[in-house]
Structure 1
Amino acid sequence: MPKLKVLTWFERDRAHVQLVDAATEQRTFAEWWDEDVQEAVEDGFLNPRDWLGSATEYALSLGLIPQQYR
């Protein structure tokens, strides 16, 4: 079963969280930028202590992850 990986980038007032295929990092399933990252954290959808787990769970709830990654 393919695995997922989360990529994060934070700088000053910029923020990026991206859920990708772990093997290639070429296929993106979900990503959040700036205010969307902050809002998702505040709303409890993304957890800074577990970016991978929370981003995966959130993307699954939105139907963004194909069956072979589940």
Structure 2
Amino acid sequence: MKINKEGLGIIKNEEGVVLHAYKDIVGVWTIGIGCTYYPNGKPVKEGNIITQTQCDDLFLNVYV
């Protein structure tokens, strides 16, 4: 999915930034800015931690 800069800002504001894995409202492991999978296709798991740079890269990989 490709989203423009304004759309990316809306997603960031709605999702927030969390650098450790957490269960979202429906119980899915999530990290960063609403990401449930890594670019390699592996799902986010309990105990995963990322840096802000990794978060930004993951976010852009998913939405841009």
TM-score bin, normalised by smaller chain: 0.3 to 0.5
Between the two structures, name the one with larger relative contact order (CA 8 Å, sep ≥ 6): 2
Larger fraction in strand: 1
Higher-Rg structure is: 1
TM-score relative to the length of structure 2: 0.32
